[in-house]
A and B are shown apart, each in its own frame.
Chain A
Amino acid sequence: MFAYHKDEEFCSNCEIELNSLAERCKGMQAAAIVSSDGFVVSTFGRLKDGGNRLGSMTSSMQALAEAVHEELGMGDNEYITFKSSDGNLVMSRVHDLPLVITALFNDRETVGHAIFSVKQTVDQICGGMPK
């Protein structure tokens, strides 16, 4: 399995995409792109321990959500959201790549705009690759 987190060029492209996402969403506070087994590819914003722990948790959450989808025969999981009193967390797979993106938004960002913007970033990372 190709280790995206060890490919410097790919990592810096992802960083550019996260910065661009932050430009489009002023309420985005932090974000990370991680391999599906939890290694950090790139991050935005201030994250404890460089986002390593968030990376592992993102990978676990995504896998659990997919297990629930499979159990219920719901088709493919598209994204996950967590709502708190302070805002929203959005997680999504990066299409067919073994990668997951997670982004934290404050309550200035609507959940709809947050999801839409994360999806745009996913498309950008895949370079417009068809799903």
Chain B
Amino acid sequence: MSENVILIAGPMGAGKTTAIRSLSDSEVVSTEADNTEMDRVNKPTTTVALDYGEIMLGDEDKIKLYGVPGQRRFDFMWRILEKRALGLIVLINNDAEDPLGEVVYFMEQFSSIYQRGGMVVGVTRSDIKPEPTIGDYVIHMDEHGPHAGVPTFTVDPRSKDHMVMMLYSLLMNIEANQGVQQDVRVSQG
């Protein structure tokens, strides 16, 4: 059986904690604290260290899911957790102040995972604010990074189906990229 770590990152209120609660087969570990910045993001609590959950995909693959805090003051947790991550789900709340700026920010913050093709983007809360569109995200990312074609979806983190679909896509993509890298090595060697 293999065990792999997938990280979920993104701005405060994007739905990272919600997503891990939807996905996890086991009881999740949460580190929520009372949110004293309700004027910024209106929700009662915020993650201050991590969320942790686990999901089995098939009989063989156990995925360990870590959600990181969205607030930038906790970015030391991003640095600690990214070291173990195979892949990254970036959730962006479409009603954030600058959602396109956020996606590029997270692309840069987790550039090593992005560079090796281990990142997917999930746009959340688009029922609350429908724009920008998925097309806007794709164009914006292509303009700001060297790698075209980061898989991008509209998702609702409260839906297990949406999140499982995105997780599968990420794993498939990672597998495909690893295959490409091996092919390149073979043809170079």
Q: Which of A57-65, A81-89, A113-121 participates in binding chain B?
A: A57-65
By the criterion CB–CB under 8 Å, are A60 and B48 in contact? yes
Residues of A within 8 Å of B30, CB to CB, are 67
Contact pattern, A 39-82, Cβ under 8 Å of B = 1, otherwise 0: 10000000000001101110111011011000100000000000
Is the CB of B168 closer than 8 A to any CB of chain A?
A: no
Residues of B within 8 Å of A129, CB to CB, are none
A1 touching B73 in the complex, CB below 8 Å, given contacts A59-B33, A64-B49: no
Q: For the complex, would chain B's binding face be called helix, strand, loop or mixed by DSSP majority?
A: loop
Name A56's contact: one of B32, B44, B74 (CB within 8 Å).
Answer: B74
A71 touching B29 in the complex, CB below 8 Å, given contacts A39-B36, A53-B76: yes
Residues of A within 8 Å of B29, CB to CB, are 67, 71
Closest residue on chain A to residue B51 by CB atoms? A67
A36 touching B33 in the complex, CB below 8 Å, given contacts A1-B38, A59-B48: yes
A3 touching B36 in the complex, CB below 8 Å, given contacts A37-B48, A59-B48, A60-B77: yes
A37 touching B76 in the complex, CB below 8 Å, given contacts A1-B36, A3-B36, A5-B36: no
Some 25 contacts from A to B, beta carbons below 8 A apart, are A1-B35, A1-B38, A3-B37, A4-B36, A5-B36, A35-B33, A35-B36, A36-B33, A36-B34, A37-B33, A37-B34, A37-B46, A38-B71, A39-B36, A53-B73, A53-B76, A56-B73, A56-B74, A60-B48, A63-B32, A63-B48, A64-B31, A67-B29, A71-B29, A98-B34
B residues apposed to A, CB below 8 Å: 29-38, 44, 46, 48-50, 69, 71, 73-74, 76-77
Per CB-CB distance, the 7 closest pairs between chain A and chain B, nearest first, are A63-B31, A60-B49, A36-B33, A3-B36, A1-B34, A37-B33, A56-B73
A residues apposed to B, CB below 8 Å: 1-6, 35-39, 52-53, 55-57, 59-61, 63-64, 66-67, 71, 98
